[in-house]
A = this chain, B = another copy of it.
Amino acid sequence: MPGETANPASVDRIYDAVRELAASYAIKPDERINEGSLAKSLGASRTPVREALNRLVAEDLLVFHPGKGFFCRALDPQQIFDLYELRVIIEEAAVTLACERAEDSDIEALRLDLMTNGLDYEGKSVKELVAYDEHFHQTLVSLSGNGELVKRLRNINARIRFVRWFDMEQRISVTRGEHRELMDQLAKRDAAACRNILRGHIEKRLDQIIAFARAGYSALYLPDSQGPLTGSPLIASSGR
């Protein structure tokens, strides 16, 4: 890619960039965002930056304290639990609807995608694995035909992505098998079986995930190249 020259049509670009920073916790929990530095580092002025920040506040990826400015969302175990619970609710409902409505061809396309891109995890980074996992579940939910479910899951995924990076390291092979079985049952239109697989698939991880969220603050503050966050662009390098 030879481009991204500088600024054109900047607000969406800024939005994407900051969303990435917030999702990956490259901006640390509860860290204040310096609008000036951020604007300079993105090659724009504060005005469009603030517009993007406001959108992210509405998505709960950032929080806003009047008079203080914008902050990264906290790493709140209760909230992470709530999000996982919501994720189960949405995916169970979506797969049930998919059993009723999805076209055979769409189901087959997802299975093929899984076989092609979802099974060989050798040589891939954790980030890439999580990215595929998100893609798989996102496509699965889209088979429900309900665009709102898709949007909700997209928001959830952005907000728990960081946790899943740590979770994924231990459960790759399990994930793989469960995805395959899910597709088998979906092809048979067995909604109850699909729901059971999904619930187990997600909920089995909850305990360790919550434990991580409680204890795992520290991992966020290790130097660099600790954990799966290798090469994340850091933000606040303002020499102050």
* A residues in contact (CB < 8 Å) with B: 9, 11-12, 47, 50-52, 54-60, 66, 78-79, 82-83, 85-86, 89-90, 93, 97, 146-149, 151-152
Contact = CB atoms under 8 A, between A and B. Distances in A.
Contacts of A97: 85
A60 B152 contact: no
Contacts of A146: 82, 85-86
Contacts of A50: 51
Given A146-B82, A146-B86, A12 B66 contact: yes
By secondary structure, the A interface counts as helix
B83 A148 contact: yes
A89 B79 CA distance: 20
12 contacts: A9-B66, A51-B54, A52-B54, A54-B55, A54-B58, A55-B57, A79-B147, A82-B148, A86-B149, A89-B89, A89-B90, A93-B93
Contacts of A54: 51-52, 54-55, 58
